[in-house]
Amino acid sequence: MAESEATPFANCLEKLKSYVRTRKGTILAAEILISFIIIICYAASLYGGYSAVAICEMVFAIIFFIIFMMELDKQIQVVNWTWSDLFRAGIGALLYLITSLICVIGGAGDGARIAGGVFGLLAGILFGYDTYTIFLDVKNNRQHTAASTADTV
């Protein structure tokens, strides 16, 4: 009876371990971690308002991590998860780069704000890399499912 109670948790833990070993799982885990670090830096800063981007992006990364880890994207086909993830990562990269440049340029005298800005620049690069890898996946999937050029109607 003890085994049946531990099985769902063990199954979820095994899915977590195997998904983190994939390229997409590693990228999403890194996005979650760096967003958490940025939240801590901005919380210690005099201007805590910049943490909104980090909070939103961390929540979205956690949601997509869970969806892809549990393979819910194959079960819930109402949403195109690849394109949603592409827009999430692209918008995240853009927002991180903008807010981080603002924090680094205007953060004189506030070390936590500058640190958050530097980590935000790294996060912008990471989210940009995620966008690039998703774009390559979309491009490869589009080439494999090319439309027929037959003249028949």
| 150 Rama sector, left if φ>0, alpha if ψ -120 to 50, beta otherwise | beta
- H or E segment to which residue 61 belongs: helix 51-69
pLDDT exceeds 50 at position 88: yes
| Longest Cα separation, the chain | 70
Mean pLDDT of the chain: 88
Residue 32 dihedral angles phi and psi, to the nearest 5°:
-65, -45
CB-CB contact of 131 with 86 (8 Å) = yes
- Give the tens place of pLDDT for each residue, 115-151: 999 999 999 999 999 999 999 999 998 876 655 566 6
Mean pLDDT of 53-71: 94
At residue 5, does pLDDT exceed 60? no
Higher pLDDT, 151 or 85: 85
More confident residue, 70 or 149: 70
Nearest to 103 by CA among 36, 34, 54: 54
Per-domain residue ranges for the chain? 16-142
pLDDT band for 108, please (50, 70, 90 cuts). confident
Q: 32: closest CA among 126, 152, 98?
A: 126
pLDDT computed for residue 143 by the predictor: 76
* pTM, to two decimals: 0.85
pLDDT, residue 1, reads 44
Q: What is the pLDDT of residue 8?
A: 73
Tokens of 45: 């800063």
The DSSP code for 77 is: -
Determine the pLDDT at residue 4. Answer: 52
